[in-house]
Amino acid sequence: DTEVTQTPKHLVMGMTNKKSLKCEQHMGHRAMYWYKQKAKKPPELMFVYSYEKLSINESVPSRFSPECPNSSLLNLHLHALQPEDSALYLCASSPLFSGYGELFFGEGSRLTVL
Amino acid sequence: SQQGEEDPQALSIQEGENATMNCSYKTSINNLQWYRQNSGRGLVHLILIRSNEREKHSGRLRVTLDTSKKSSSLLITASRAADTASYFCATHDTGTASKLTFGTGTRLQVTL
């Protein structure tokens, strides 16, 4: 079982809605990530937080707004999304002391934008 | 942006056979990792090989790395139906410690 928990597992939203994806880990990891994965494609990095500070933003549109309220939680706020934003959103964490180490992934939140 | 290209894109074998997947990448790396993903689920880390290593084993998995050719291979021996999944290589480029970039992936189907 994964130790990174993502909620909700499935989300359907309209283009005018505001929703949030949540991610939680209790492994003491200080780096957390959001990846986006379209069907039959590899995951693509969106954001990286290190010690609760945003360290990497891969030129993601502002309709995606990340937030890291504490070392265990990572949110992705969604607003005015487009149908092409429908995808599997994966959260991951890693111990920051091994910045080049493995990532631990959650099961993902499958988002459908109507 | 995508770092690695994997081949084959899809592989179908029978249980008990070996499966080999290849990954090529473009830049200097700190390490290369392999992950597995069951359909529509999260990724699971399989193995990490550092840039100064040439071969690594973990159970039925064998990974090789050739930094001169910028390529890696993953061998799964004595495959089982439960190995059916997508397999991705991923690289940490030197100088971008927090950025793990995934290859295109290989979809493996193991039939009984």
| Average confidence score pLDDT of chain A | 94
pLDDT of residue A60: 96
- Higher-confidence residue of B83 and B3: namely B83
Whether pLDDT at B4 is above 80: no
pLDDT of residue A2: 58
Q: Does A5 touch chain B (CB under 8 A)?
A: no
pLDDT digits (tens, 9 = 90+) for B61-76: 999 999 999 999 999 9
Question: Which among A43, A99, A100 is the nearest to B102, CB-wise?
Answer: A43
Chain A nearest CA to B26, separation (Å): 16
pLDDT of residue B95: 74
Torsion of CA A62, A64, A68, A69, to 10 degrees: 90
Q: Report chain B residues whose CB lies below 8 A from the CB of A108.
A: 40-42
Q: Which of B3, B31, B98 to mutate to test the interface with A (most CBs of A within 10 A)?
A: B98
Q: Summarize the confidence of residues B43-58 as an average pLDDT.
A: 96
Whether pLDDT at B1 is above 70: no
Q: Measured between alpha carbons, how far is B54 from B63 in angstroms, rounded to an integer?
A: 8
Q: Does A111 touch chain B (CB under 8 A)?
A: no
Q: Which of B6, B28, B36, B43 to mutate to test the interface with A (most CBs of A within 10 A)?
A: B43
CA contacts within 13 A on the Cβ side of B22: 7
Kindly determine whether residue B43 and residue A103, on different chains, have CB atoms separated by under 8 Å: yes
| Average confidence score pLDDT of chain B | 93
Three-class SS of residue B10?
strand
Q: Does A101 touch chain B (CB under 8 A)?
A: yes
Whether pLDDT at A23 is above 90: yes
Q: Measured between alpha carbons, how far is A101 from B7 in angstroms, rounded to an integer?
A: 24
Indicate the pLDDT class of residue B99, thresholds 50, 70 and 90: confident
Nearest to A106 by CA among A93, A94, A95: A93
Indicate the pLDDT class of residue A96, thresholds 50, 70 and 90: confident
A75 and A67 in contact (C-beta within 8 Å)?
yes
Three-class SS of residue B96?
coil
pLDDT digits (tens, 9 = 90+) for A56-94: 999 999 999 999 999 999 999 999 999 999 999 999 999
